[in-house]
A and B are shown apart, each in its own frame.
Chain A
Amino acid sequence: MLPAGCSRRLVAELRDARDACAERQRQLERSLCVSRRLLRTWEPVETPAAEPAPGPEPNEEAPPPACTPSPQELKELELLTQALEKAVRVRKGTSKAGERHKALSLKSGSAAASATTASAPSRASSQAGSRASETKPPRGAHQTTVPARGLPECRLPSVGDRTHMGRGARATKPGPGLRDQQIPPSAAPQAPEAFTLKEKGILLKLPMAYRKAASQNSRLWAQFSSTQTSDSRDAATTAKTQFLQKMKMTSGWPSSGLSAAEAEAEVGLLQKACSLLRRRMEEELSADPADWMQEYHCLLTLEGLQAITGRCLHRVQGLRAAVAGQQLGPWPEGRCPRASVPCEGRTDPSWSPQLLLYSSTKELQTLAALRLRVAMLEQQIHLEKVLMAELLPLVSTRDPQGPSWLVLCRAVHSLLCEGGERFLTILRDEPAD
C-alpha cells in the first residue's frame, strides 16, 4: 500500500488525465455520429425495418444504435408522412400562388423534423422536376432537387429565382409526393431513389438566408478582429488604465502583489523557460567546437545560461513567498476556470477563424494524429514528473530488505522508466550454500 497522501494525489492526477481523455472522446463521438449519419442514406423510408437502402458506401460502418430510428419512430414517421401528404393535397387544391406554397412547405418541414430526430422524409412540397430543362446536372446524374427542408430557398446550383412559375402545375404527384425530389422526371415512380451525399451532395445549395447571415458573420468577425486603432480607442484604453489604477488606490485589501491566477501564469512561464534553457544547453553540449573561438563561444554560452537559470531560481523564491503569503482560496468547487487562461501569454489573438487548407484525407489524418500525439506526450510528461516526485522518495525511504520493496521497485521502474508498458525481471543471484 502507498501512503494515504501519496495515494490521494496520484489517483487524483490520473483521474484528471482520464477525465480529460474521456471528454475528448465524447466530443469526437458526437461529431462522428453526425458525420456518419450524413454519409448514410438520409431516407430510410418504405422499409420500416430500417434496411439501409442500396447506395451508400459498401465499407460504411454499422451505425451506432443511438443514430438509428427505432421501428416505433419509423411507424410514427410513416403516419406523419401520410398526414402531411394529405395536407399537401388539400392545400394544393386551394392554393395556386407559389408564395403560399412555400409557406406550407416551411411549416410541414418543421413538423416533420420535430417529430423525430432521425431522418425524416422530405418536405411535403412537390417542386421537383420543374427545372429539368434549365439545368444540366453535374456528373450526369438524374435531375434532382435537394431542398433544405424548411429553408425555402434551397435549389439546384445553377437555377435562378425566375423558375418560381409553373411549379404548382408541373409537380403534382399525389402518391409519392413526399419523396418525389428523388424521382427522375422520366423514371417510373415506383422506384424512389435514396439520397446519398456521395452521389448527390454536389447538388446541394445553401439557402439564401443562411448565406447572407454567414457572410455577414465572417465580415463582422473580421472587423472585430482588426487591430486597427483609432483616437477614440486609444482614449478608451487610457481611461481603462486610469480606472484600474483608481480602483487599486481606493482598495481596502492589503496589496498581496500576486493573484492566484497570476501566480499560476508565472509558474507556467517558468516551466517554459526551464525547457527552453535545457534545450539550449543540450544544443551547446552536443556541438563539437572546431577551434578556440567556438570553444570560447560555448563557454560563454554555458555561463550565460547558468546566470539566466539562476535568475529563474530567484523568481521561484519570490513566487514561493507570494504563494505562502497569499490569503487566497482557490477556485471553489472544481478547479481554476480554464477558459480564461490565455495561451502562451498571447496578448492579441485573432478572434476570427482562419482557414486551414489540406489537400488529402491522409494529410488531415496525419495532422490530427500528430496533434493528439503531442497532447498525449504533454500529459505523459506531466504525469511522469508527478509520479517521480511521489514515488522515488518512497523507494529510497523503504527498507530494501523488507518484503514489499522488490515489488515496489519493479512497479516503480515500470511506471517511471517504461511508461507502464513493460516490466523488468529481477532474479535472485544467491550462491547456493
Chain B
Amino acid sequence: MGRRRPRGPRGDTVGALPEAIAALSQTLPAGPSPEIFRRAKFDRPEAAPALWQLLFRVLSPLPRDGASASPASPALEAQVHLVKSALRSQGYPRRALAQLPEDGSQGSRELLLALAWLLARGPLLEQLLAQTRVRLGDEIPLCECEALASAGPLPPRREADGPVDIRHLQWLMGKLRFQWRNLITSQQEQCALLGKIHSYTQGCHSDRSLGHLSVAETELFRDPEGGRQLLQRLESENARLEAALVWRRQELVFWKWMDTVLGACPLEASQPTFLPRIPTGGAGELELVAQELQALHEELRGAAEPRRAAWEARVGGWGPEQTAVQRASREAVGRELAALQRACEQGEALAQPHGPCRLVKTDARASGGPGLRAAELIGALRSRETRLEAVLGRLQTRCRQELTRLAGARPGLLWILPPGR
C-alpha cells in the first residue's frame, strides 16, 4: 500500500486505503501522519507515543474554544493512564490494552484497534468536530448537555477536610443562591448588549438569512489580528470537514483493512482478572432513584387497590354490553401505556430542541424563514419550569411531613413556620 498507483474512476482500487487513512488523519484533531497507521498495523513501537496522544486527545473533553490555545497536555504516562481507564469505563473489550506498559512505549497495534473501536461505536468524528466547532454566531445553548460540554472537564473533586457543622452547609447554600442571582443579572445584561449589537449592524451580513453581524464578526473589525486567527481556524475547520466527507465515502476500505489488523492479533485467552474495585459515583444516584421508584410504587398501590375493590363490588351482574366496553377500555389503556413503557425504556427523545443555535434578530412581522422561534422555546421552557417546580415542591412537602413526624418525638414545642409561601 506504500506505493501509489493510479486509481480507477470509482476510487475503490489500491489508492483508496491511503486516501481513506489520509482523510481520517486529517479529520482527527492533531491527527498523526498516515504513516503512523501503517506502522501500527505491524505493531511498531515508534508509532505508539503518537497514538497514545491521539487517543488522549480524543477521549478527554476540551474546554470551549480550546482549539486555538492548546492546553498543556499532561506527561505521556498520565495520558496512558487516562486513556486506559477511559476506555475501560466505556466498556472497551480488549485486555491487552490494559496490560500495556505505562510509559507509552509500546502497543501501537492495540491502540489502532482501540481507535477503530471508538470510531465503529458511534459518531466519534462528528462529536470531535462539533466539539471544536468555530463559533461564528452568537449562540445560546438550548440544552444543558451543551452548556456542560462547553464548560470542559470538571476539576477534580476536592475532598472536604473533615466534619463540618450544618451551618457550613447553610453558608454554602447561601453562596450558591447568590451566585445564581449574579448569573441571572449578567445574563440579562448580555442579552441587552447582544440585542444592541444585532440591531446596530442590521443588514450588514452578506447572508440574507442572518441579516446582522454577530459579536465574533463585529470583533473582526475591531481586532484584525483576532480576525485573521478566526479566518484561519475557519479555513482549517473547512479542510477538516472536507476530509471528513471524503472519509465517509472511503471508510469501507478502512474497515476491511482493520479486519486484517485484528486478524493479525493473537487471540486473547479468556481468564478472570480481579482489579481492585472502586465504587463508582453512579451508585449513589442509583440508590436515590431506587428510593423514588419504591415510593412511587407504594403510592400507586395505595391508589389502585381501593379502587379495584370498589370496582369489583360494583360490576357483579353486568351484561355483555358493558363487558365489551370494558374490553375497549382495556385496549385503549394498553396502547397508551405501551407508549409510556417504551419511553421509560428508551428514554424517548422529547421534542426538546437540541443542538447549536445561532441567534438571529428578526423583524417580528417578517417571520416565515427557517429556524426556531424564541416564542416557541419560551413556551416549552415555561412548561418545563412548571414541571420542575412541582417536583421540587413535592420533595419539600415530603420533607416537611417527615420532619413533622420526627418532631412528634419531642412534645411541648411550638413550631412556627416562616411567613411567606
Contact = CB atoms under 8 A, between A and B. Distances in A.
B85 A409 contact: no
A329 B255 contact: no
A407 B169 CA distance: 14
Nearest to B90: A261
B278 A330 contact: yes
A154 B224 CA distance: 11
Interface in B205-263: 205-207, 209-210, 213, 215, 217-228, 230-231, 234-235, 237-238, 241-242, 244-245, 248-249, 251-252, 255-256, 258-259, 262
Given A23-B151, A415-B173, A268 B374 contact: no
Given A368-B140, A378-B388, A252 B270 contact: yes
Interface in B99-130: 113, 116-117, 119-121, 126-127, 129-130
A400 interface: yes
A258 B283 CA distance: 14
A210 B354 contact: no
Contacts of A320: 286, 290
A355 B166 contact: no
B420 interface: yes
A411 B139 contact: no
B157 A12 contact: yes
Nearest to B241: A220
5 contacts: A151-B228, A268-B347, A331-B85, A371-B141, A419-B177
Interface stretch (B1-9, B31-39, B42-50, B300-308): B300-308
Given A110-B225, A150-B227, A239-B252, A308 B344 contact: yes
A420 B268 CA distance: 56
Nearest to B143: A343
B187 A372 contact: yes
Interface string A339-377: 111111111011111111111110111111111111111
Given A25-B183, A417-B399, A411 B200 contact: no
A124 B300 CA distance: 77
A39 interface: yes
A270 B391 CA distance: 16
**Residue from A109, A378, A385 having most chain B Cβ neighbours under 10 A:** A385
Majority-rule SS of B interface residues = helix
A273 B343 CA distance: 7
Contacts of A401: 410
Interface in B398-421: 398-400, 402-403, 406-407, 409-410, 412-421
A411 B168 CA distance: 11
Contacts of A309: 293, 296-297, 300
Contact of A416 (B96, B172, B190, B396): B396
A304 interface: yes
A271 B344 CA distance: 9
Interface string B256-298: 1011001001011111111111101111111111111110110
A159 interface: no
Interface string A407-430: 111011111111111111111111
Interface string A207-240: 1011101111110110110000000110110011
B418 A422 contact: yes
Given A29-B186, A365-B191, A380-B392, A206 B414 contact: no
Contact of B175 (A18, A236, A258): A18
Contact of B377 (A243, A296, A367): A367
Contacts of B134: 217
Interface in B166-199: 166-170, 172-177, 179-180, 182-184, 186-197
Nearest to B160: A11
A87 interface: no
A339 B145 CA distance: 8
A353 B183 CA distance: 25
Contact of B176 (A14, A248, A417, A423): A14
B62 A326 contact: no
A296 to B, nearest CB: 5
Query: Closest 5 interchain pairs by CB?
Result: A259-B91, A252-B268, A355-B371, A150-B224, A361-B195
A32 B203 CA distance: 23
A162 interface: no
B61 A197 contact: no
A39 B384 CA distance: 35
Contacts of A334: 153-157
Contact of B291 (A19, A389, A416): A389
A53 to B, nearest CB: 15
A343 to B, nearest CB: 4
B375 interface: yes
Nearest to B379: A370
A3 B163 CA distance: 6
Contacts of B13: none
A410 to B, nearest CB: 9
A27 B139 CA distance: 12
B14 interface: no
Given A19-B154, A430-B412, A205 B241 contact: no
A244 B117 contact: yes
A400 B387 contact: no
Contact of A341 (B145, B226, B382): B145
A250 interface: yes
Interface in A268-306: 268-281, 285, 292-293, 295-306
A411 B299 contact: no
A330 to B, nearest CB: 5
A79 interface: no
A251 interface: yes
A429 B414 contact: yes
A428 B413 contact: yes
A160 interface: no
A301 B120 CA distance: 42
B70 interface: no
A297 to B, nearest CB: 5
A198 to B, nearest CB: 5
Nearest to A330: B280
Interface string B354-393: 1111111111100101111111011001101101110110
Contacts of A4: 162-163
Given A27-B64, A426-B413, A275 B280 contact: no
B277 A345 contact: no
A328 interface: yes
Contacts of A279: 387
Nearest to A117: B223
B88 to A, nearest CB: 6
